[in-house]
C-alpha cells in the first residue's frame, strides 16, 4: 500500500518542549491514531475555554474539546462534585496516607453494580423525561464511546424482528468508524458498505444564508424518496438513524420539519427512530437535548461527549420494550456504567440543573452568530452555518460556492 504524503506540519519556533513531545509521539504512536492537523498543538493544561502549551502559550479552544467540554475545561465546582460522588474527600487529596482512599468508589466495576450507576441512570432519565420529546426515555444502556452507543442502538433495532434487518441512515452523517457505526456513516459510495444499510437524503443548502435556512423547507422530494424506499424494502426496514445536524459532514443544520418528517415516517410504519445526538446533547443546540430543539420524540437517543464534560461516558437511552430484546451480555463491555463516568454525569447534571448554563449558552449563541456573520463580508468566507453553540465556516474555495 502506498503511504500518502501528509502536508508539512507547522510548529512555532522556540517551543522545544512541545517539539520534543511531538517527536516522541511520532516514534511511539502510529500516525493513524489521529487526524492530521498542521499545528498539532501540545496541551499541558486547560482552563475554561483555553489550552496552554508546555511553554505557557495560551490557545483558544474553538472546538470545546470536540464538543465535549460544554461546561468548560476543569471547572472547579464540577470537579469537586465528581470527587464527592466518588467518595474522595478533600482531606484524602491533601493526605499522603493512601488509607484515606480505601473508602472511595472503584474506577472499574465490571459485571457488578455501584450506587453511582443507579443514581446516574435515575437522574439522567428524570432529566430527559422532563424535557419535551423525552417521553420514551425509560432505560439507559451505557457504552464506552459514542460509536459504541450507536452500535448498541442499532443492535437493539435489529433484534426486534429477524425479518426486518434493513437500516436507513441519512447521507453524509458521522456516527463512528467501527462496526455498524461506520456502516451508517458517509454514503453508499464508500467502499465495503454493509449491504443492510440504505441511505436517504439530508438537507444540505450549499452556501446558504442563515435566513434561508430558517425559511420553510419543501418536504415533497424527501417524502417521495421515503415512500419509494419503503416500496422497495417494505417491512424489511428495522430502523432509521440520523443526526440532528451534520457535524462531521459539514455543519449542515436542517429545518425542524425535516426531522419531524422522518419521525412521522417511522411512526406510521413501526420503524425504530434513532437520534444520534452524541455531539448535540447537553445544550449544544440550545436546549438540554436536540430532540427538544427539533420537536421530535425518538425511540432511542444516543448521548455522549458533553454528557460527561470530558470524562469518557456515553449511552443509548430509550424504550424499555426495545432494550428487552437483548439478554445478558449482548450489550455489555468493560467500561459501560463505570463509576468515574457515572460520577461525571451526576456532576454535569448538577451544573445544568442548578446553574444558568443553558441561559448563558443562548446568550453566547447570539454573540457567536453576530461575530461569525461579519466574516461573510470577507471574500474568503462563503457562508456560516450553525445554531446554539455549534457553528461551521465554509470557505469560498470549496466546490459549489460562487
State the DSSP string of 307-354. GTTTS--EEEEE-HHHHTTS-TTTT--TTTT-HHHHHHHHHHHHHHHH
Query: How high is the pLDDT of residue 37?
Result: 83
Dihedral sign for Cα atoms in the order 95, 101, 104, 107: positive
Q: Is the pLDDT of residue 132 over 80?
A: yes
Q: Which set of grid coordinates corresponds to residue 161? A: 424482528
Cα–Cα distance list, 184 to 4, 174, 196, 335 (Å): 26, 8, 10, 24
Integer Cα distance of 166 and 112 in angstroms: 35
Lowest-confidence pick of 189-193, 269-273, 323-327, 338-342: 189-193
* Confidence band of 402 (pLDDT split at 50, 70, 90): very low
Cα–Cα distance list, 101 to 31, 92, 104, 343 (Å): 38, 6, 5, 16
**SS3 label, residue 166:** strand
Lowest-confidence pick of 126-140, 200-214, 271-285: 200-214
Q: Is the pLDDT of residue 356 over 50?
A: yes
Lowest-confidence pick of 67-76, 324-333, 389-398: 389-398
* Confidence band of 1 (pLDDT split at 50, 70, 90): very low
Q: Is the pLDDT of residue 36 over 70?
A: yes
Q: Is the pLDDT of residue 3 over 50?
A: no
Q: pLDDT digits over 24-35, tens only? A: 999 999 988 888
Integer Cα distance of 138 and 128 in angstroms: 9
Integer Cα distance of 41 and 70 in angstroms: 21
Lowest-confidence pick of 23-32, 201-210, 261-270: 201-210
pTM of the model: 0.92
Higher pLDDT, 133 or 213: 133
The whole-number average pLDDT for the span 379-400 is 84
The whole-number average pLDDT for the span 367-371 is 92
Q: Is the pLDDT of residue 54 over 70?
A: yes
Q: Is the pLDDT of residue 211 over 70?
A: no
Q: What percent of the chain has pLDDT over 70?
A: 91
Query: How high is the pLDDT of residue 205?
Result: 76
Query: How high is the pLDDT of residue 192?
Result: 75
Higher pLDDT, 9 or 245: 245
The whole-number average pLDDT for the span 101-116 is 86
Given the candidates 3.40.640.10, 3.40.50.2300, 3.30.360.10, 3.40.50.300, the CATH classification of the domain at 115-354 is 3.40.640.10
The whole-number average pLDDT for the span 261-280 is 98
* Confidence band of 233 (pLDDT split at 50, 70, 90): very high
* Confidence band of 4 (pLDDT split at 50, 70, 90): very low
* Confidence band of 11 (pLDDT split at 50, 70, 90): confident
The whole-number average pLDDT for the span 254-278 is 97
Domain with CATH 3.40.640.10 in the chain: 115-354
Q: Is the pLDDT of residue 116 over 90?
A: yes
* Confidence band of 99 (pLDDT split at 50, 70, 90): low
329 Cβ contact list (under 8 Å, min separation 6): none
Lowest-confidence pick of 109-123, 169-183, 199-213, 316-330: 199-213
The whole-number average pLDDT for the span 370-380 is 90
Query: How high is the pLDDT of residue 7?
Result: 54
The whole-number average pLDDT for the span 82-106 is 76
Amino acid at each position: 500500500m502506498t503511504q500518502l504524503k501528509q502536508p508539512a506540519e507547522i510548529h512555532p519556533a522556540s517551543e522545544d518542549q512541545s517539539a520534543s513531545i511531538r517527536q516522541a509521539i511520532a516514534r511511539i504512536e502510529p500516525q493513524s491514531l489521529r487526524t492530521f492537523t498542521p499545528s498539532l498543538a501540545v496541551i499541558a493544561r486547560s482552563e475554561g475555554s483555553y489550552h496552554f502549551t508546555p511553554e505557557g502559550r495560551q490557545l483558544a479552544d474553538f472546538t470545546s474539546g470536540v464538543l465535549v467540554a460544554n461546561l468548560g475545561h476543569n471547572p472547579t465546582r464540577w470537579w469537586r462534585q465528581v470527587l464527592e460522588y466518588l467518595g474522595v474527600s478533600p482531606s484524602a487529596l491533601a493526605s499522603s496516607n493512601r488509607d484515606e482512599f480505601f473508602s472511595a468508589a472503584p474506577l472499574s466495576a465490571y459485571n457488578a453494580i455501584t450506587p453511582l450507576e443507579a443514581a446516574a441512570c435515575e437522574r439522567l432519565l428524570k432529566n430527559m423525561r422532563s424535557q419535551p420529546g423525552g417521553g420514551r426515555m425509560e432505560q439507559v444502556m451505557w457504552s464506552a464511546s459514542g460509536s459504541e452507543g450507536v452500535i448498541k442502538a442499532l443492535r437493539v433495532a435489529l433484534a426486534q424482528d429477524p425479518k426486518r434487518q434493513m437500516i436507513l441512515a441519512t447521507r453524509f452523517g458521522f456516527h463512528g468508524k467501527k462496526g455498524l457505526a461506520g456502516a451508517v456513516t458517509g454514503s453508499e459510495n464508500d467502499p465495503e458498505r454493509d449491504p443492510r444499510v440504505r441511505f436517504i437524503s439530508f438537507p444540505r443548502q450549499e452556501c446558504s444564508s442563515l435566513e434561508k435556512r430558517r425559511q420553510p423547507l419543501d418536504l415533497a422530494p424527501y417524502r417521495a424518496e421515503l415512500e419509494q424506499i419503503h416500496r422497495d424494502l417494505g417491512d424489511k426496514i428495522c430502523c432509521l438513524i440520523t443526526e440532528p445536524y451534520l457535524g462531521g459532514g459539514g455543519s449542515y443544520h436542517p429545518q425542524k420539519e425535516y426531522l419531524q418528517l422522518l419521525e412521522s415516517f417511522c411512526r406510521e410504519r413501526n420503524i425504530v427512530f434513532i437520534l444520534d445526538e452524541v455531539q448535540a446533547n447537553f445544550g449544544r443546540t440550545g436546549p438540554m437535548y436536540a430532540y427538544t430543539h427539533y420537536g421530535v420524540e425518538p425511540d432511542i437517543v444516543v448521548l455522549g461527549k458533553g454528557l460527561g464534560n470530558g470524562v469518557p461516558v456515553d449511552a443509548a437511552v430509550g424504550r424499555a420494550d426495545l432494550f428487552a430484546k437483548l439478554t445478558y451480555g449482548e450489550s455489555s463491555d468493560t467500561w459501560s456504567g463505570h463509576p468515574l463516568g457515572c460520577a461525571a454525569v451526576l456532576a454535569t447534571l448538577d451544573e445544568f440543573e442548578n446553574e444558568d448554563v443553558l441561559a448563558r449558552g443562548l446568550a453566547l449563541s447570539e454573540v457567536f452568530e453576530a461575530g461569525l456573520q461579519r466574516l461573510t463580508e470577507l471574500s474568503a468566507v462563503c457562508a456560516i452555518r450553525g445554531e446554539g453553540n455549534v457553528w461551521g465556516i465554509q470557505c469560498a474555495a470549496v466546490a459549489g460556492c460562487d
